[in-house]
Structure 1
């Protein structure tokens, strides 16, 4: 009897231990895989959005630059006919060169290729012939041109942007153009130049031939990499995201976007190993926190197994002695066996429920921004898709902290994190229960407003903006925000376009002074971007 009791107890303990360990391993593995998948998807989406944002900004830059040159060409067409107006040409060249940091140099050229004026004048090229690759292409084409990158006679990698000059009767007089040195400072280099981090993430740009024109490592500029899978997609004028092994044999999570105006492609990528590093840490944390509960479960199972063994001993005794005495009544009492079996089931159910709670916890973590506790991009996409499918009208507010980099640089990243949490709390205070507050990425946030039109959303954005600018932030200083607002389905029924529109309105708010809200409808002024840019 004693042997059977010990054997049965050990068997129950072994089965229970195997079940608990299996449940723990299965739950841990499931959580690990879910976390990996979520991190990969989030990183790919973040890089895609970042690359698209850079591409959109670059597209707008080139269009605005051509518009500037077009206006200048009309202003100086009257001065191209006589040498007595040459000072006017020099003045215009200097104005274009010095009023912004767009061009590294500016030239005004006659139809025969003679350079009539240049800035800076230290170039000493006035009176000479414009024989550069980009210049000859512009003179022959007699149309607005953004040249391919090419090496100048000084060894610089440059592009030439030009606009033709015509008389009122249509006679071709020449062109006005500017050069951008791709390895030197200008507005374009500020947009596309340094976007890399110490964890191995970086941005690079290729031209329409698959040649690198911007890269964090200067020695990689001008490398020809058409065999790169991401570059191959850009050469096909595609935009998106992909997991890829680059030409340096590094596993990368890349987002890429095509720039139609110049045929370039922007790639934002991060090493997969860096992106997945938090998953291992989360799994270790989960296991360590689970150990006390696991030990408690084993103690309870041991006690239950003892309780189970005792009734079975009695059952065996009554069965053995039933040949001599009528033990029916005694055997009926042993029917408590089913009660004990239920207790074991409850213990296992408890353990299984505990580990499922852990899976639910990590699922919640995958949908929530860990810093601000707002929803993340994944949840935002699910909700907007759901609302759109149900035909629910809504508005989105994309907002961004003005000069947030200055907060980090001045007060440190810890204070910067507190400022982000401060803004998240302000968003909660101005939103309703049915609204959704989301951290979009970095210092950019989104308010998803259920069943509000653009005018109503504008009021919410202004309420939040005024609340933020009138409250001292955790860094001890006032911060401000800029917002872009778009509404579904009034603006568009395409969710991707809806977010692009709101992002453009945010860009307009930033570009026109910051600390303001720009909406898409109602009495609020639309941003000055073209319909092509919105599409």
Structure 2
């Protein structure tokens, strides 16, 4: 497969870098504009919800004043049915605030009602609104409840008193949340065609929604509703019940505990931004192509000396190649020094590779082989079917050495053990530090008896020789043989490991020889 020349590589790198920079610029611009637009929309919705909460508060205050005026007119003439009916009719027709107006005495009996219906006068009013109004004897807003006829109602009441201040009952106005009235008109006129809408909740219950069939629904898991139910205003990015991401602003109506939430679909907010980014991309394309052309031209100028040098050294005749190189006129330092640098670099590289190969198979602390070096020896003997013995050994209670004397003494102790292993071992044996305080001795063409004797000699020597820790150290050793202990090398190593742990279980400072494999 032909290799790319430097000019094409420079061109590819430059074009890739430029493309990435352009892509990142567009991405960063989009993200910044997106974040700014989202913040602005969230804040606009919050302000909108606050303003609408204030308007709703004013509406409710006005409704209370209307009830208060009627209460002042009705109070002195509560027993005059004609007067009561005239006043409730007047209040109902005065504005579109209430869907019904009624007067109730202290015994919960209905004295007058507009509009008239089948409910007879003197009938008992049995609903949460009536109980609350009679109990408080104060102007109140009774939160949403379902009436016997199925309507969802918010009731406003005002007490009736005699001229002497005696409590006579109350006059109430009912707002049907699922029917037309001034509150419904006030909230409903703020619906937009781009998917924006608002709703009103109280204690997680929808008391207004642009979809009337949802009024009365209890909402769970909506963070905006949770916040506004706690009397807090703010804004949030959330997902509505239909799975649409919404930018919501919310504010409470303080006097009622209602919460108004105004929200707009995230997608509708970002539509204009997407168009703007598309126009920006179209504008940048000609500039991008001009930059690519300039990069192509510059890459050719930069790569020409190196390309000429590469062609020159491919010539079979060294003299011709030398003359060709001499004719090259470099205009930057790298071309002039390239040949000498390559030769120096190759020499240094070979030296380092040799050192790395040695280092990769040697434990730097003890200068014994590591696991990789030991595995290389095992693989070599396995291929030639050469028998060998394995001794796994572990310093007993080595952690106590580190804890009592420090890790420096611990390292000296490991080096001390390595020296004793070298001193007692033959030249053909492979000595390995397999990790931590664990070591391995591989003994080619050695039977179990000889390996056991060597292990016992090493154990006895260490047990009677003062170590850098100031006292002798003891070893636990496990001995196995290939193929006597097992015909599979991995099982031989496992047998040696099991023998080592058996030595530990038997009190340490001990050699255990693995049993031979049964035929």
Asked if Structure 1 and Structure 2 have the same fold, meaning a TM-score greater than 0.5 normalized by the shorter chain, the answer is yes
Partner of 1:222: helix, strand, or coil? coil
1:194-213 correspondence runs (5 A): 195-208=190-203, 210-213=204-207
Q: 1:309: Cα distance to partner?
A: 5.4
2:351 counterpart residue number: none
1:179 counterpart residue number: 174
2:139 counterpart residue number: 144
Equivalent of residue 88 in structure 2, options 79, 90, 93: 93
Equivalent of residue 68 in structure 2, options 54, 67, 70: 70
Q: Please list every run of 5 or more consecutive structure 2 residues that lacks an aligned counterpart in the other structure.
A: 312-318, 335-519
Quick check: 1:258–1:265 contact (8 Å CA) kept in 2? yes
Q: Following the alignment from structure 1 to structure 2, what is the Cα–Cα distance between the partners of residues 11 and 206? A: 64
1:18-97 correspondence runs (5 A): 18-80=16-78, 82-83=79-80, 86-97=81-92
1:415 counterpart residue number: none
1:276 counterpart residue number: 270
Quick check: 1:207–1:263 contact (8 Å CA) kept in 2? yes
Q: 1:78: Cα distance to partner?
A: 1.9
Quick check: 2:228–2:251 contact (8 Å CA) kept in 1? yes
Equivalent of residue 121 in structure 1, options 95, 98, 116: 116
Q: Following the alignment from structure 2 to structure 1, what is the Cα–Cα distance between the partners of residues 154 and 138? A: 16
Q: Following the alignment from structure 1 to structure 2, what is the Cα–Cα distance between the partners of residues 295 and 226? A: 54
2:259 counterpart residue number: 265
Partner of 1:175: helix, strand, or coil? strand
Quick check: 1:211–1:226 contact (8 Å CA) kept in 2? no
Q: 1:293: Cα distance to partner?
A: 1.1
Partner of 1:38: helix, strand, or coil? helix
Q: 1:77: Cα distance to partner?
A: 2.0
Q: 1:292: Cα distance to partner?
A: 1.2
TM-score (ref. length: structure 2): 0.56
RMSD: 3.6
Q: 1:217: Cα distance to partner?
A: 2.2
Cα distance change, pair 223–314 in 1 and its aligned pair in 2 (3 A): closer
Q: 1:175: Cα distance to partner?
A: 1.3
Q: Following the alignment from structure 2 to structure 1, what is the Cα–Cα distance between the partners of residues 173 and 213? A: 25
Q: Following the alignment from structure 2 to structure 1, what is the Cα–Cα distance between the partners of residues 157 and 304? A: 95
Q: Following the alignment from structure 2 to structure 1, what is the Cα–Cα distance between the partners of residues 242 and 307? A: 70
Q: Please list every run of 5 or more consecutive structure 1 residues that lacks an aligned counterpart in the other structure.
A: 338-535
Q: 1:141: Cα distance to partner?
A: 1.9
Q: Following the alignment from structure 1 to structure 2, what is the Cα–Cα distance between the partners of residues 313 and 216? A: 73
Q: 1:46: Cα distance to partner?
A: 2.2
1:291 counterpart residue number: 285
Cα distance change, pair 216–95 in 1 and its aligned pair in 2 (3 A): same
Partner of 2:255: helix, strand, or coil? coil
Q: Following the alignment from structure 2 to structure 1, what is the Cα–Cα distance between the partners of residues 331 and 135? A: 104
2:217 counterpart residue number: 223
Quick check: 2:197–2:264 contact (8 Å CA) kept in 1? yes
Partner of 1:258: helix, strand, or coil? strand
Quick check: 1:118–1:125 contact (8 Å CA) kept in 2? no
Pair 1:103-2:112 in alignment: no
Count of matched residue pairs: 328
* Larger RCO: 1 or 2 (CA < 8 Å, sep 6+): 1
Q: 1:73: Cα distance to partner?
A: 1.4
Cα distance change, pair 94–24 in 1 and its aligned pair in 2 (3 A): same
Partner of 2:248: helix, strand, or coil? strand
Q: 1:8: Cα distance to partner?
A: 4.4
Quick check: 2:159–2:171 contact (8 Å CA) kept in 1? yes
Q: 1:21: Cα distance to partner?
A: 0.9
Partner of 2:297: helix, strand, or coil? helix
Quick check: 2:5–2:307 contact (8 Å CA) kept in 1? no
Pick the structure with greater CA Rg. 2
Q: Following the alignment from structure 2 to structure 1, what is the Cα–Cα distance between the partners of residues 293 and 77? A: 96
Quick check: 2:103–2:112 contact (8 Å CA) kept in 1? yes
TM-score (ref. length: structure 1): 0.54
Pair 1:253-2:247 in alignment: yes
